[in-house]
Amino acid sequence: MELGLDGKVALITGGSDGIGYASAWELANEGATVVICARGQEALDEAVNKISSETGGVISAIACDVTDVNQIETTFQKLINDHGRVDILVNNAGFGLFKPLIELTLEELESVYRTNVFGAFLMSREAAHHFIEQGSGELINIASTSSLKGSATRTAYGSSKFALRGMTECWRDELRRHNVRVMLVNPSEVMTEFATKAGAPRDQSDKKLRPQEIADAIIGALKVDSRGFVPEFSVFATNPF
């Protein structure tokens, strides 16, 4: 039996663009109440207005830096005050930095980990309190196919996704007894601004993945009846060449 998303309350980090935006759009279109967060209020407001007008769904935004414990606590307090619960957390906030080992600084490595690893940990820890109390929840971590195999210049980004994958496995084992489904998503290359922001711009291609494919896969996983779940899945372009 397919699980409906109508009325579920979803919180998505990095929700103003890319995979986060596409996931918010799809969830709002499915009838979920969606809250997106990111650091930039202007981008959040633009995303809310666009998604609301296109889907007619219930969506709002809270400015939040996932590396700041106080901001995370404030975000969850507002979320619970406004909606009474949280059913879905999508940890999408993250960034890349690609450099050879001999050029990478400790400060750069720490910066990537603060968002990609520690940010996901802090958001998940806060959500887990509510999931355990409710006896249900959906925790989705957006990793990367870089979490499956290391490669040159990806010491910071790749290892951060390996760490996220490891944390996901620990949380999955810990939270299953509370009827919480913990899932890991490994997108291959997606046509967003991610690579450009990471200093490794790529040519745009209609053959490569769009954020919509990742969002569609997430929706499919969420719709599996709650007695089962998809622990981890990767999404590749069929023919990117």
Mean pLDDT of 147-166: 97
For residue 7, is pLDDT > 80? yes
pTM: 0.95
* In contact, 118 and 125? CB cutoff 8 Å: no
Q: 76, 157, 162, 171: which is the annotated catalytic residue?
A: 157
Phi, psi of 130, rounded to the nearest 5 degrees: -75, -40
DSSP H helical ranges for 56-134: 69-83, 106-113, 120-134
Q: Is 166 helix (H, G, I), strand (E, B) or coil?
A: helix
With 0-12 / 13-18 / 19 or more C-beta atoms within 10 angstroms meaning exposed / middle / buried, residue 194 is buried
CA distance 6 to 57: 10
What are the pLDDT digits (tens) for 97-140?
999 999 999 999 999 999 999 999 999 999 999 999 999 999 99
Q: How many CB atoms lie within 10 A of CB 129?
A: 11
CATH of range 9-235; options 1.10.357.140, 3.40.50.720, 1.10.1200.10, 3.40.50.300:
3.40.50.720
**What are the structure tokens assigned to 187, written together?**
């997108």
What are the pLDDT digits (tens) for 163-200?
999 999 999 999 999 999 999 999 999 997 765 565 66
Q: Which secondary-structure segment (H or E) carries 55?
A: helix 41-55
Strands laid side by side in the 232-235 sheet: 58-63, 33-38, 9-13, 88-91, 137-142, 180-187, 232-235
Phi, psi of 65, rounded to the nearest 5 degrees: -95, 115
Mean pLDDT of the chain: 95
CA distance 101 to 155: 7
Q: Is 45 helix (H, G, I), strand (E, B) or coil?
A: helix
113 given a catalytic annotation: no
pLDDT given at position 197: 66
DSSP bridge pairs for 234: 186
Residue 203 pLDDT grade (very low, low, confident, very high; cuts 50, 70, 90): confident
What are the pLDDT digits (tens) for 13-66?
999 999 999 999 999 999 999 999 999 999 999 999 999 999 999 999 999 999
Q: How many CB atoms lie within 10 A of CB 94?
A: 26
pLDDT given at position 107: 98
For residue 1, is pLDDT > 50? no
pLDDT given at position 42: 97
**197 or 148: which carries more pLDDT confidence?**
148
